[in-house]
Amino acid sequence: MTTLADKVILSGADNRPPMLEKDMYDSWKSRMELYMMNRQHGRMILEFVENEAIQADCDVKATNIVLQGLPPEVYAIVSNHKFAKELWERIQLLMQGTSLTKQERECKFYDEFDKFAYMKKESLREFYFRFSLLLNDMNIYNMKLEQF
């Protein structure tokens, strides 16, 4: 059964871009690209953000969409960029970081996977949900699980 809160969340899902969360850049990027594609002239906006400036009004629209999906602390750092492409690249650099931070993130996920276990008083559904979230996070970062 759908609650009123669920309906409110669903109805507002199309009205604003997804919010960026720390350590979840790749997921946010994927959701942001889908959000842009769902807007009027979405393909043009997305290509514009990823490539170069074509039209000034399109750049303003793309920049606005990206800025709306940022938490205040990230917005304060990147809001001075005037072009959507520059903004997109700066956010990517800030959130993905260097290859060292990517390796640290992967190590964290592999460690969490190795130590994954049932928690006391946890239902099978909760256990499965936690495990699915972990696998989804690993999949977002293109991490592969190889059999030993």
pLDDT digits (tens, 9 = 90+) for 69-94: 888 888 888 878 777 788 888 888 78
Quote the pLDDT of residue 11: 45
In terms of pTM, does the model score above 0.75? no
| Token pair of 125 as six digits | 């559904």
| Token pair of 82 as six digits | 């005037």
pLDDT bin (cut points 50, 70, 90) of residue 56 is low
Contact in structure between 96 and 25 (CB atoms under 8 Å): yes
Quote the pLDDT of residue 126: 94
Contact in structure between 36 and 46 (CB atoms under 8 Å): yes
Quote the pLDDT of residue 3: 53
Mean pLDDT over the full length of the chain: 76
CA atoms of 87 and 49, how far apart (whole Å): 8
CA atoms of 20 and 67, how far apart (whole Å): 10
Short-list 88, 53, 96, CA closest to 69: 88
